[in-house]
Amino acid sequence: MNHAPQVTFEIQAECPITRARAGVLHTAHGDIETPVFMPVGTQATVKGLSQRDLAEDLDVRILLGNTYHLYLRPGHELIQRLGGLHRFMSWPRAILTDSGGFQVFSLSGIRKITEQGVVFHSHLNGDPHTFTPESTVDVQLAFGSDILMALDECPEYPVSHEYARQAMRRTVRWARAGYAHYAQRMAGMETRHALFPIVQGSMYADLRRECCAELVNLDADGYAIGGLSVGEPRPLSLEMVEAAEPLLPRHRPRYAMGVGMPDELAEYVARGVDMMDCVLPSRNARNGYLFTSEGRVIIKHARYKEDPGPLDPNCPCYTCRTYSRAYLRHLFQAGEILYASLATRHNLQRYLDIMRRMRHAILLGEFPKYLDSVRSASAQLE
């Protein structure tokens, strides 16, 4: 594929022992220090947080939006008419959108997979729709995303080797078709938009390797590893990253989709992952499950009823600086809206802090030490 890079990746330090790297991803909407965690803004919002919370308080540099949801409502054409997703949601920094494939496979009703794409029914009203490798590129270009994802088939877990192979081969063909269309659309376009293909292959290392070997021919600006966190045991997800990573070009960012718990982030980074996203910090926050530097806090527990201390004494976030555990518990029990906002703000801060700490450790050449401390801390909690 012959086109100018749409995002560029600069490696600043590499761990001499693990595969961890620290770098900067340059996009049309700003620079992003890696490894990076991308909060999920499913419906063009990180639930409960304003643009000011995200950009000014938390200093988030890149958000993830879900193509499936935004395509169905309010629709990509409406978003385009209103100036694209950045302007629509008043977000001046980078946006990555997924291809919609994952939600089609996990959320929508009856669906039919053909060589051309996937036919599905909206979970909102049952209307039939089709995503093709070409149409998902068009939808994401209408959003104006900085990073687009190629349409992929994400099989459930477990599946047979034979089915996983068919789905992986289809994903490769779709990536090629999507790329050809993308190259045409980009010719003469003045704004910058990268397209990342997605490595699939279920939990079979040979298929993951085969998929990488095909996808690197696209010479993409970055590569995603998908099909993780679909119910498989955690060691398997890490094994799949290990299978893929050595085959991916060193100077392009790698994005592990949909991972993980706080103590898993270092495991992915140790395996050469630069970008991650997950709904856990925001979803768990709303459900009363908070991540702190001292382990998890289930805020509804009676032990916090009269606890005047901060949620996490080591956390610099607005929630921890301002409110007590007792007050947060009260808000949660009362079903108050403010609870979701304060809790999400804290959980995201926790994830972002972990990423910053890892980046710092890689730059100082101390990542192996950091990894050891995370491993022994999580072993103690178990």
**Which token pair is 107?**
């959320």
Q: What is d(CA 291, CA 169) in angstroms, rounded to the nearest whole number?
A: 39
Considering only the stretches 32-40, 60-68, 228-236, 308-316, report the one whose residues sit in contact with Zn ion under the rule CB under 5 A.
Answer: 308-316
**Which token pair is 318?**
């607005």
* Total residues in contact with Zn ion, by rule CB under 5 A: 6
Q: 277 catalytic, yes or no?
A: yes
Considering only the stretches 53-61, 109-117, 140-148, 310-318, report the one whose residues sit in contact with Zn ion under the rule CB under 5 A.
Answer: 310-318
| 168 touches 210 (CB < 8 A) | yes
The answer to whether 354 contacts Zn ion (rule: CB under 5 A) is: no
**Smallest distance, Zn ion to C-beta of residue 260, A:** 20
| 262 touches 291 (CB < 8 A) | yes
Of 315, 354, 355, 371, which one interacts with Zn ion (CB under 5 A)?
Answer: 315
| 347 touches 282 (CB < 8 A) | yes
321 versus 382: smaller Cβ distance to Zn ion: 321
Q: What is d(CA 87, CA 95) in angstroms, rounded to the nearest whole number?
A: 11
**Smallest distance, Zn ion to C-beta of residue 327, A:** 13
CA dist list (Å): 194 to 94, 109, 217, 266, 302: 12, 30, 16, 26, 49
| Strand pairing report for 62-65 and 94-97 | parallel
Considering only the stretches 14-22, 103-111, 223-231, 340-348, report the one whose residues sit in contact with Zn ion under the rule CB under 5 A.
Answer: 340-348
186 versus 285: smaller Cβ distance to Zn ion: 285
**Smallest distance, Zn ion to C-beta of residue 266, A:** 20
Q: Which strands, in side-by-side order, build the sheet including 275-277?
A: 36-38, 275-277, 254-256, 223-225, 198-199
202 versus 349: smaller Cβ distance to Zn ion: 349
**Smallest distance, Zn ion to C-beta of residue 296, A:** 13
Of 94, 320, 358, 361, which one interacts with Zn ion (CB under 5 A)?
Answer: 320
44 versus 315: smaller Cβ distance to Zn ion: 315
Select from 214, 255, 260 the least CA-distant residue to 236: 260
| 225 touches 255 (CB < 8 A) | yes
**Smallest distance, Zn ion to C-beta of residue 168, A:** 41
Q: Which of 53, 146, 152, 277 is catalytic?
A: 277
Residue with tokens 């192979």: 165
**Smallest distance, Zn ion to C-beta of residue 353, A:** 9
Q: What is d(CA 343, CA 289) in angstroms, rounded to the nearest whole number?
A: 9
Select from 42, 143, 139 the least CA-distant residue to 85: 143
Considering only the stretches 55-63, 117-125, 316-324, 374-382, report the one whose residues sit in contact with Zn ion under the rule CB under 5 A.
Answer: 316-324
130 versus 324: smaller Cβ distance to Zn ion: 324
Of 46, 278, 317, 343, which one interacts with Zn ion (CB under 5 A)?
Answer: 317
The enclosing H or E element of 104 equals: helix 101-106
54 versus 320: smaller Cβ distance to Zn ion: 320
Q: Which of 53, 98, 146, 274 is catalytic?
A: 98
The answer to whether 346 contacts Zn ion (rule: CB under 5 A) is: yes
**Smallest distance, Zn ion to C-beta of residue 345, A:** 7
Considering only the stretches 187-195, 270-278, 304-312, 353-361, report the one whose residues sit in contact with Zn ion under the rule CB under 5 A.
Answer: 304-312
The answer to whether 7 contacts Zn ion (rule: CB under 5 A) is: no
319 versus 341: smaller Cβ distance to Zn ion: 319
The total of other beta-carbon atoms located within 10 Å of residue 71's CB is 24
Residue 286: partners with Cβ closer than 8 Å, 6 or more residues away? 47, 48, 340, 343, 344
Q: Could you list the active site residues? A: 98, 277
Give the binding site for Zn ion (CB under 5 A).
Answer: 312, 315, 317, 319-320, 346
